[in-house]
Amino acid sequence: MSHLIAPSLLAADFANIQKDCEMLNESQADWFHIDVMDGIFVPNISFGMPVIKAIKKHSEKTMDVHLMIVDPDRYIKRFKELGADILTVHYEACSHLHRTIQATQAEGMLAGVALNPHTSVDLLKDTIQDIDLVCLMSVNPGFGGQSFIENTYQKVRELKSLIESKNASTKIEIDGGVNSSNAPLLKEAGADVLVAGSFVFKSENPIQTIADLKSI
């Protein structure tokens, strides 16, 4: 399977979100990546429910929703109602991760688990077979436009090895600082999905930038 590209709408023009959604629909992007932040789990606040509802109205592609919030279990059903196809929670925010994964899948969504840069992939060895997607943060979460953490390549290789050793079908997603320089190395290490925000939306021709990332 070819790798997937998931542009992060955190870097979009919020005043023209419909225009950027339509651009992504026309592009080779596979997923819309939407970061939800609560100002507690991470020191920033991003999209609320009405904005996600508006994005869904204009999106023709898979909605990949990444919750950077405390106590995400409270909102699983609500995000399904808003149109999420994939719902990713942070390992660090869940005291009963397995229950959260099951609740997400019970609502008919794919269940993702995100790991902050300091969190070891070994912590997923007991749940990896139940997880649809692991999102490795390649920057510290909370703000767009940060630079890529080089240790990510090693984490991708370790995670790929864990997935294969457990005969799991989990996809590996990389979120943060992805660009045309590190994308080939990430793919080579075992990444399946590349999230790109500023690199896409701040480029002169986002549709071409997405095509370039897709063709790596």
Q: What residues act catalytically?
A: 35, 175
Question: What DSSP assignment string belongs to 75-87?
Answer: GHHHHHHHT-SEE
Question: What DSSP state is assigned to residue 73?
Answer: G
Tell which residue, 62, 94, 61, 92, has the closest CA to residue 76.
94
**Integer Rg of the chain from CA:** 16
Rounded to whole angstroms, how far apart are CA atoms 53 and 154? 37
Q: CB of 172 within 8 A of CB of 136?
A: yes
Q: What does residue 57 show for φ and ψ, rounded to 5 degrees?
A: -60, -30
Sequence-ordered alpha helix ranges (H) in the chain: 17-26, 49-58, 76-82, 97-106, 152-165, 183-189, 198-201, 206-214
Helix (H, G, I), strand (E, B) or coil at 194: strand
Contacts with 16 (C-beta within 8 Å, 6 or more apart), sequence order: none
